[in-house]
């Protein structure tokens, strides 16, 4: 029997990870893709607490160096989010918002990642889109709102 956990909102059974099931089980990767003036961060693999911290810090620095003020973090290939991943998202978010016209959107979070965002209350702070098209639309709306201010 797997351990049962009560999160305060729901009761769920923690299942062991399926190793080697897909590419999400590999080492953490953050790839940058540009669509016009939008930087899409593609997060893939598992974040290993502590071990990936230096790599993720370098990616925050790399994002700053791009000068991008419109950023989408695609979490579709991120199976879970721990404290290291939360710190990384917050670093990306604040780095982006510190730029003039900065806007940061999370897209495609899976159920486990969405649950972590919800219980940490980050879902109340970070804009979340169901998919990339929705995230791009949210960025366009935010850009128009900033232009009218």
Sketch out the chain's domains with CATH numbers.
Answer: 4-13+25-147 (3.30.750.24)
Residue 147's pLDDT is 67
Q: Which residue did the predictor score with more confidence, 9 or 61?
A: 61
pLDDT reading at 119 higher than 60: yes
- pLDDT tens-digit map of 17-40: 433 444 455 678 999 999 998 999
Binning pLDDT at 50, 70 and 90, where does residue 89 land?
Answer: very high
> What percent of the chain has a predicted confidence (pLDDT) above 90?
48
Bridge partner residues of 34 (DSSP):
39
- Greater confidence (6 vs 29) lies with 29
Mean pLDDT of 76-84: 90
């Amino acid at each position: 029997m797997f351990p049962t956990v009560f999160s305060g909102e729901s009761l769920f059974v923690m299942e062991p990870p399926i190793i080697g099931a897909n590419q999400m089980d590999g080492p953490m990767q953050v790839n940058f893709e540009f669509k016009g003036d939008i930087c899409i961060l593609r997060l893939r693999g598992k974040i290993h607490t502590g071990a990936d911290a230096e790599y993720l810090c370098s990616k925050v620095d790399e994002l700053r160096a791009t000068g991008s003020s419109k950023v989408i973090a695609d979490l579709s290939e991120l199976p879970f989010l721990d404290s290291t991943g939360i710190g990384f998202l917050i670093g990306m978010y604040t780095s982006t918002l510190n730029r003039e016209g900065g806007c940061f959107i999370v897209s495609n979070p899976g159920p486990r990642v969405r649950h972590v965002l919800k219980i940490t209350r980050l879902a109340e702070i970070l804009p979340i889109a169901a998919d990339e098209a929705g995230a791009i639309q949210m960025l366009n709306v935010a850009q128009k709102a900033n232009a009218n201010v």
